[in-house]
Structure 1
Amino acid sequence: MNSFYASVEIAYDPSLKGKPVAIAGNVEERKGIIVTCSYEARAKGVKATMPLWEARKLCPDLIVKKPNFDRYRSASMAMFTILREYTDKVEPVSIDEGYVDLSEFSGTKPLLIAKSIQNRLLEELLLPCSIGVAPNKFLAKMASDMKKPLGISILRKRDLPEKLWPLPANEMHGIGEKTAEKLRSIQINTIYDVAHADTIQLKNLLGINGARLKERANGIDDRKVDPDAIYDFKSIGNSSTLSKNTTNEAEIQEVLRKLAKSVSVRMKRKEVVASKFFVTIRYGNLKTITRSKKVENPINKEDDILFVASHLFFSHWDGEPIRLLGITGQDLVEKSEAVKQLDLFSFENDAKDEPLVELMNKLNGKYGSQVIKKGVKANKKESSTVGTSFNKDFLRE
């Protein structure tokens, strides 16, 4: 989708069409950051991650809107519903992006379907998109970025020397600025250089990802479009940029508490627990550190997460002003599968529950594993629509 958040706001309020529109957090704050913006704003030099004050300096008539995530989720659900009318082989990868496998269709049918999808999204939802048509996921992703807005680009393997290889390495999907900087240190500057680099040298520099990048640069990608991949998630986290840099411990603790609550709510919604937690600390000078701790028994309760996060933070904070804080739970397992490590302090309490557990096991054995659970609330009825997220839960609340 093209400038998705901004496009949704324009679709909701057509009076914004043709005007420079930006979505930003902390609209009232001078230090707010641009999340995305319309192409009219981009033409004035405004871009994502730019401070709001700088964007307004470049574009004095910039219209700034607060994010409305409920509105964006609804638009995303409508978009994926349209995609699934063509095939059930749809893999959402974010709120505004997905893969569609059209290999069941022959001849020019996939191109006609691509055009149909683009027209319907524009006519029915008033939302523009760009589509890449290619033999695999990587090339489709690269093609989708070649013409924006409202582009349809075809990228075949035989097109690589002309269309892909001349591009700078940092324009290749999977190569961020830090990776590009490492590649430049060994004179790899273009996608052609990546495609023809020494595999061992790439592995030494980037690990297993180095060999994978070389394959991608040569148009090799055997990943399938997997509709069930939206259920895969390896971590759940949240971060918060402070309105101003601070060394106030009470303010810092309050931010950590809110983050712990947010992570806890999302973990409970997924019915998972985590056995490893990370705390991200970004200082006023933008120096960023991440510290982690593995817990003996997997947790998802707010107080437990806050305890671990607070210990991590205050053990590693150097006293300098804080700009951003983040908490992430990793090594996730389903709560029903988590095995509690009994210790001297918990054994007595667990032993008291043994008669109850034995009864539950008998009932579940006779009537099914879900007939009765201890301490588990019944799930609220959810939409049957398949969802994904900012970290793959963005369509579910």
Structure 2
Amino acid sequence: MSSKWYPKKGRVIFHIDMNCFYASVEMAYNPKLKGKPLAIAGNPEERKGIIVTSSYEARAKGVKTTMPLWEARKLCPNLIVMRPNFDRYRMASKEMFKMLADITPRVQPVSIDEGYMDISGCADLGSPPDIAENLQQRIKTELDLPCSIGIAPNKFLAKMASDMKKPMGITVLRKRDLPEKLWPLPVGEMYGIGGKTAAKLNSVAINTIGELATTDVYQLKQVLGINGERLRNRANGIDTRAVDPDAVHEFKSIGSSQTLPNDTTSEAEIRKLMHALADNVERRLKRKNAAGRGVQLMIRYHDLKTITRSKKLKIYIESKEDILHVANDLLQKHWNLEPIRLLGITVQDAEEKQHIAHQLDLFTYEKEAEKEKLYSVIDQLSTKYGKNPFKKLNKEQDKNQPRTSFQKDFLDDYKR
């Protein structure tokens, strides 16, 4: 068995993909929702809602992710709609990843509801399909959550395999299986290929993953640039990336964005949101113990036209005041005064402070030393009273918690 499933020079990789994660968590929390068409939608009152995810019962009626809520309700009149509860999803995610870590320390979370495992050294636990089945059943039994698992010699094939059977699927995808299982699929179904890339490939008569796998590299580079060779390698089952448990700590940017309740040109509303976004970014930088030396502003207008403008800095910044100063400067220079739908602020070129050689002149040092005393007092009071006593919080929600699944600050919580 060991020689069959655990080659000496190869790897055995799992990709775990939780099925309809947000909806499944709500069903586990309230079993009365099981078997019913359920959708999770962001800000349904303010924006008429965009579907974040939905149950399989809703999907059977045509409800899809990113679909406007009005359209989903037209397709499924009895649709149950709930707002996201990220604290609940985060807790479920943490418990799920703990179960993965019970099998191997080589676990790499990539989002709140999916991750990779390298079980190459787990021959004593049984065959990979047995390990996968036991893991799948444990998650279902203890958390009441369904998942699909892909088993393959590398991350790309494991990811493709986990998508092949849902819900509660276990799929093995070896390189020798590619001509039968992978190559007949439309090129647009390949992980890493979006709609625009698929259209470019289709325009040169590359319609299946198999056709991509056999296309001349030079031709692909003419169409897709250097990315063409990488995608061709993937189509041939070539992927040398290791499962990296520390990858979650790697980041180059930290940002926050938010849709306004209504398209607006009100400077007061825009200023209020800019403050909130800068506050969120400062908090996330502090959580990462990081700073950055670039700021990017994203503006999405009423007609969905989106622009991003950035500014590189000579020094690293981390405070709300510094972030807001640069972001406001970008807004003044690049806002065309048309109604704004969404704003986003991102600190770029971010690094952990321990990796930053911070050069300080005498005056800068004195100013920062004074700030550190204040920060220290605030932190002590925050620890004692549970919040920053110098800030008025408009909501009961703990703002230190992630507001969306796209913030990856918390993905190593399962280790604690």
| TM-score w.r.t. length of structure 1 | 0.87
Q: How much does 1:136 deviate?
A: 0.7
- Give the structure 2 partner of residue 40 of structure 1: 57
**Runs of 4+ with >6 A deviation:** 373-376
1:314 to partner: Cα distance: 2.5
- SS in structure 2 at match of 1:28: helix
Length-normalised TM-score, structure 2: 0.83
Instruction: Please give the root-mean-square deviation of Cα atoms over the aligned residues, in Å.
Output: 2.6
Equivalents in 2 of 1:121, 1:184: separation in Å? 40
Q: CA separation of 1:137/1:287 partners in 2, compared to 1, >3 Å: closer, same or farther?
A: same
Q: 2:309, 2:214 → 1: CA distance?
A: 37
Does structure 2 retain, via aligned residues, the 8 Å contact 1:233–1:391? no
Secondary structure, aligned partner of 1:5: helix
Kindly tell me the number of residue pairs found equivalent between the two proteins. Answer: 372
Pairwise CA distance, 1:235 = 1.4
Q: CA deviation at 1:395?
A: 4.6
CA–CA distance in structure 1, aligned partners of residues 171 and 206 of structure 2: 26
Q: Report the more deviating stretch, 88-97 or 176-185.
A: 176-185
Deviation at 1:374, TM superposition (A): 7.4
Deviates more, 1:115-124 or 1:26-35: 26-35
Amino acid at match of 1:86: I
Question: 1:29: Cα distance to partner?
Answer: 3.1
Q: Does 1:391 align with 2:407?
A: yes
The answer to whether the Cα contact below 8 Å between 1:34 and 1:49 also exists between their aligned partners in 2 is: yes
Matched residue, 2:96: 79
Pick the aligned partner of 1:65 from 72, 77, 82: 82
1:142 to 160, 165, 176: 160
Identify which of structures 1 and 2 has the higher relative contact order when contacts are C-alpha pairs closer than 8 Å and 6+ apart.
2
The CA distance in 2 between the partners of 1:4 and 1:15, in whole Å, is 17
Distance 1:208 1:277 in 2: 28
* Aligned equivalent of 2:207, options 182, 185, 189: 189
Rate the CA distance shift 1:6–1:274 in 2: closer, same or farther, 3 A: same
Q: 1:26 aligns with which of 43, 60, 63?
A: 43
Specify the alignment match of 1:263 in structure 2.
281
Matched, 1:89 2:89: no
Indicate conservation of the 8 Å contact 2:252/2:351, yes or no: no
CA distance, structure 1, for counterparts of residue 282 and residue 367 of structure 2: 25
Confirm whether residue 207 of structure 1 aligns to residue 221 of structure 2: no
Equivalent position amino acid for 2:62 in 1: G
Alignment-mate amino acid for residue 14 of structure 1: P
> Residue 329 of structure 1 aligns with which residue?
347
* Cα distance change on mapping 1:319 and 1:185 into 2, 3 Å: farther
User: Is the 1:89–1:225 Cα contact (8 Å) retained in structure 2?
Assistant: yes
Output aligned runs, 1:298-313, within 5 Å.
298-313=316-331
Once the 2 structures are TM-superposed, how far is the Cα of residue 301 of structure 1 from its aligned partner? 0.9
Give the superposition deviation at 1:132: 0.5
Query: How do residues 233-312 of structure 1 correspond to structure 2 at under 5 angstroms?
Result: 233-312=251-330
Task: Sort the Cα spacing of 1:156 and 1:351 in 2 relative to 1 into closer, same or farther, 3 A.
Answer: closer
| TM-fit CA distance, 1:58 | 1.3
Q: Deviations over 1:110-163 (max 9, x none)?
A: 110101111111111000001111111100000000111111111111111111
Q: Structure 1 residue 54 and structure 2 residue 68: aligned?
A: no
User: Residue 18 of structure 1 contacts residue 40 of structure 1 at CA under 8 Å; is this kept in 2?
Assistant: yes
Aligned amino acid, residue 410 of structure 2: F
Question: Is contact 1:233-1:392 (8 Å) kept?
Answer: no
Residue equivalent to 1:232: 250
Alpha-carbon contact 2:248-2:412 (below 8 Å) kept: no
Q: Deviations over 1:44-70 (max 9, x none)?
A: 111111111111111111111111111
Name the residue aligned to 1:109.
127
Alignment of 1:346-385 (within 5 A): 347-350=361-364, 377=376
Cα drift, residue 210 of structure 1: 2.0
Q: Would you say the 8 A contact 2:184–2:209 is kept in 1?
A: yes
Secondary structure (helix, strand or coil) at the match of 2:307 reads strand
Q: Which amino acid aligns with 2:29?
A: Y
Partner of 2:148: 130
2:184 aligns to what? 166
Whole-angstrom CA distance in 2 between matches of 1:139 and 1:54: 35
Unaligned runs of 5+ in 1: 358-372, 381-386
Distance in 2 between the 1:249 and 1:202 partners?
Answer: 48
Residue 105 of structure 1, CA deviation: 3.5
